[in-house]
Amino acid sequence: MDSLSQQQLVNKNGQLISAEVALQDADIVCYYFSAHWCPPCRQFTPILADFYTELKDNNAKIEIVFVSSDRSENDMKSYMNESHGDWMAIPWGSPITSTLKQKYNVSGIPALIIVKKNGTIVSTDGRSDVHRKGTACFRDWSK
């Protein structure tokens, strides 16, 4: 979360919220690198949304931050409203997007990077974790 602490995040309604406030209760932060134009992303996003909703309904201390590779702000907004969970996103066009891609060595999408509150990387293949274990992977990530 260290890269984000001074940043603003945006929700589905276009409201800006400081990352510090948005992520303050999360022990686990998942960076979701994705885009609407990417068919594998569009397949995984509803699965991730269900995963997130189920965990949040059980008071899991997890947050997801969408890091968009969409070609326009409108594409990003429609993708978020169409199939995303109730999570935050890096504002479209923000330089932090490329910073995060470099930091976590993201070369393809979809990618789900799992990070503890202290910045420790837990998994660079969260997508496979979610597919294989469902919500049970949260317990592994929290260890």
Confidence at residue 95, expressed as pLDDT on a 0 to 100 scale: 94
Q: Which CATH class is domain 8-142?
A: alpha beta
pTM metric for this prediction: 0.95
CA-wise closest residue to 61 among 24, 98, 97, 90: 24
Residue given tokens 């799992």 in the structure block: 114
Distances (CA, A) of 49 to 7, 13, 80, 105: 23, 17, 10, 24
State yes or no: pLDDT of 5 exceeds 70. Answer: no
pLDDT tens by residue, 84-98: 999 999 999 999 999
Domain boundaries, the chain: 8-142
CA-wise closest residue to 32 among 51, 8, 58: 51
pLDDT tens by residue, 9-29: 999 999 999 999 999 999 999
State yes or no: pLDDT of 2 exceeds 60. Answer: no
